[in-house]
């Protein structure tokens, strides 16, 4: 497996990481624990060294899963986790029913760090992201709290998720960022205009989540596909049957290129992302060994500059139907 460094940091990871949320949360019932442990360990055996989780995934159960699965590989793998929500049902500063409230107060950051260390069974958190920017807490206070944890040896690297260019610069001035995690794929390219230039300027890596469009870019679903009642894609505007029908044009583009290259649509989508910048490390998620191996095969797909130009231009010409999130969740991004 090829390795990449996240920006100017010394954080070196496998060129593709593994997003672990779906093993416990959001995509229907949680996967069988022993099967997920086996899959996580199979990923390590295949060269994956970068694993992504969060306190809120489950909540708590995903961190606990990774702690058990990856304990034998301590020191060989990088585990990223996140803070920024308060899971107390009585705490909801936004007043949105059923949603955990944002909470990046320094005391909560310290509390989450201590609890995450125990669940992950590590002595230091490799990469600690603010999950979403909290408008009630100045980003300088957030960065300062993480800086203190780094100085105390409890955290190694700081990251943000779905933050604006201004917020990135303000945070980086207090505690240098190793990575920004944001959605980026052939059907979500908003980071290209303002975010990528800032990351390049400051030497910060990018970790794209949902690099396969929550499964849509694999070509394995269409407008007739149904999801489990607990699958959060049921609530996403981009996954209505009408939107999926309209967005099928992008999948057809990927299928055509995949046929030419002897690859799968998912591999083309990931190879395209990997080719954008040497400091981009996508984290596709899966519960299946076959899909994991398919995704990892993207690192062997070669796309020429002409291929990349054609894919980019063709994809840009296809309008994507439906927003990424419902309105109340979309409001949490780009702050």
The CA angle 204-208-209, to the nearest 5 degrees, is: 140
Exposure b/e, 75-94, CB count within 10 A at least 16 = b: eebbbbbbbbbbeeeeebee
DSSP-assigned beta bridge partners for residue 319: none
List, in order, residues 6 or more apart from 180 with CB less than 8 Å away: 159, 160, 161, 163, 168, 195, 199, 204, 205, 206, 207
Q: Determine which one of 57, 129, 184, 209 is catalytic.
A: 57
Distance of CA 198 to the CA centre of its chain: 19
Active-site residue, 27 included:
no
What does the block give as tokens for 325? 């999130």
Name which of 21, 13, 66 is nearest 281 in CA terms.
13
What does the block give as tokens for 224? 């007739």
DSSP 32: P
Helix, strand or coil, per DSSP, at residue 157:
coil
DSSP-assigned beta bridge partners for residue 14: 3
Peptide bond into 59 cis (omega under 30): yes
Q: How many CA within 13 A on the CB side of residue 167? A: 21
Contact status, residue 188 vs residue 210, Cβ threshold 8 Å: yes
The CA angle 60-63-64, to the nearest 5 degrees, is: 85
d(CA 319, CA 310): 16
Known catalytic residues are 57
């Amino acid at each position: 497996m090829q390795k990449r460094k996240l920006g100017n940091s010394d954080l070196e990871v496998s060129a593709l990481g593994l997003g672990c949320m779906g093993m416990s949360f959001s995509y229907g019932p949680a996967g069988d624990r022993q099967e997920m442990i086996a899959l996580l360990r199979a990923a390590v055996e295949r060269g994956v060294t970068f694993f992504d989780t969060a306190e809120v995934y489950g909540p708590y159960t995903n961190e606990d899963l990774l702690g058990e699965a990856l304990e034998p590989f301590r020191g060989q793998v990088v585990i990223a986790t996140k803070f920024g929500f308060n899971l107390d049902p009585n705490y909801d500063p936004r007043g949105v029913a059923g949603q955990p409230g944002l909470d990046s107060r320094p005391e909560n950051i310290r509390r989450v760090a201590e609890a995450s260390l125990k669940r992950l069974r590590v002595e230091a958190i490799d990469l600690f992201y603010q999950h979403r920017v909290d408008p009630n807490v100045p980003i300088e206070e957030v960065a300062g709290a993480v800086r203190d944890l780094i100085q105390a040896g409890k955290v190694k690297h700081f990251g943000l998720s779905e933050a604006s260019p201004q917020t990135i610069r303000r945070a980086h001035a207090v505690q240098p960022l190793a990575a920004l995690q944001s959605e980026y794929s052939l059907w979500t390219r908003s980071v290209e205009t303002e975010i990528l230039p800032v990351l390049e300027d400051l030497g910060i890596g990018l970790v794209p989540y949902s690099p396969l469009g929550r499964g849509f870019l694999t070509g394995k679903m269409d407008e007739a596909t149904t999801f489990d009642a607990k699958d959060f894609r049921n609530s996403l505007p981009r996954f209505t049957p009408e939107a999926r029908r309209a967005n099928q044009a992008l999948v057809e583009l990927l299928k055509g290129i995949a046929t030419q290259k002897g690859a799968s649509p998912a591999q083309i989508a990931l190879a395209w992302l990997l080719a954008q910048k040497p400091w981009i490390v996508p984290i596709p998620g899966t519960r299946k060994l076959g899909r994991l191996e398919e995704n990892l095969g993207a690192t062997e797909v070669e796309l020429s500059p002409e291929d990349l130009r054609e894919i980019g231009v063709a994809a840009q010409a296809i309008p994507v139907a439906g927003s990424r999130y419902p309105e109340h969740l979309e409001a949490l991004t780009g702050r």
